[in-house]
Amino acid sequence: MTIHSLSTPKDFSQGNFEGHFEAAACNLCGSTDQQPVFSGHDRLTGLPGRFQIVQCQNCGAFRQNPYLVWEYLKDYYPDEAYSAYASINKADAKNWQLWINRHGVRKKLHAIEQVQKGGRLLDIGCGAGAFLAEARRKGHWQPEGIEPNKFAADYVQKELGIPVHVGAFPDVSLPSQSYDVITMWNVLEHLYQPTESMYQVNTLLKTGGWVVFSLPNAESIEARIAKQYWSGWDLPRHLYVFSKTNIHQLLEKNGFIVRDTRCISTSYAALGYTLRFWSQDNSRQFPAAARKLTQIYHTAPIRLMMTLPLWLLDRLRLSSMITVFAQKDITHG
């Protein structure tokens, strides 16, 4: 099954964004006191527009402000360029690439099974369903997903036979206290209202249930060095980027106890995007270096060479992506 591309709105192709943006206070703490950090364009897909990252002067969270409303932001998720849907069109993928992708999914599931052996599992933003498919293979999970992209949701339901609720979280209506585990792989940073979304996650979990999610690590070495080229910003799709302190604040105010933070999602791919974004701006100034980096980075020898330094960053919790394990607090009012 092939996903077809979403069309770019005519106004965007002409550079007209009037009325497409909204401004808001920080969703984590409610403050409107902010400091501009930088502005940039869509480095991933090359679609038009200029977008601004600010930092809340009260809690320190980074966010886009103003931001594109969903009616227009959804067109910045083209299927052929956005990695969450990449496994649907995998005819050109090499065997070793498919093995690496599945290995990453297995690592995530293995980490969850260290705290919860099975049960009902909801994957919010399930994309093409790779994680759900792996959970079903294990036999002791009842997986289902939420996915705003109808084409991807149809693929998971028709081709994989796994139920998916079509829509944006938390707008999808589901029964409370129904799930043992809820996962969000690189989703929280895409949500307009992370506080309300995490509260909704709490209501959907059974007593003692777990939420496990990955997101960009604002305190990573890569973010500090690469600055505006860091893949974790991903304008305009990433609406919030949190520090570990912000994550704890968000979870504790919504009835969770943080049990662990780890780096289990691959940082190799994230670094690859960062190098690609750097090369976009520096190919004229450093043409040979930029061209060489993009040519050799995704080769097997380079991946092998990067294994040890990325592993060390993982152990130090300084990788570009961080994964959080939090449990529903039964004492929360």
| Other residues' Cβ atoms within 10 Å of the Cβ of residue 9 | 17
Note the pLDDT of residue 3. Answer: 28
- Residue 296's pLDDT is what? 84
Sign of CA dihedral 117, 120, 125, 128: positive
- DSSP-derived 3-state class of residue 67: strand
Global pTM?
A: 0.87
Rounded to 5°, angle at Cα 241 from 224 and 13: 100
- pLDDT for 95 equals 55
State the pLDDT at residue 330.
Answer: 78
Query: In the structure encoding, which two tokens stand for residue 177, read together?
Result: 């206290």
Residues 226-252: b if buried by 16+ CB within 10 A, e if exposed? beebbbbbbbbbbbbbbeeebbbbbbe
Predicted pLDDT of residue 93:
45
The one-digit pLDDT tens for each residue of the chain (333 residues) are: 222 233 334 344 444 566 699 999 999 999 999 999 999 999 999 999 999 999 999 999 999 999 999 999 989 988 655 556 555 445 444 554 555 567 789 999 999 999 999 999 999 999 999 999 999 999 999 999 999 988 889 999 999 999 999 998 988 999 999 999 999 999 999 999 999 999 999 999 999 999 999 999 999 999 999 999 999 999 999 999 999 999 999 999 999 999 999 888 667 888 889 988 988 887 666 667 666 777 788 788 888 888 888 888 888 888 899 999 999 997 765
Query: What domains, with CATH codes, occur in the chain?
Result: 17-76 (2.20.25)
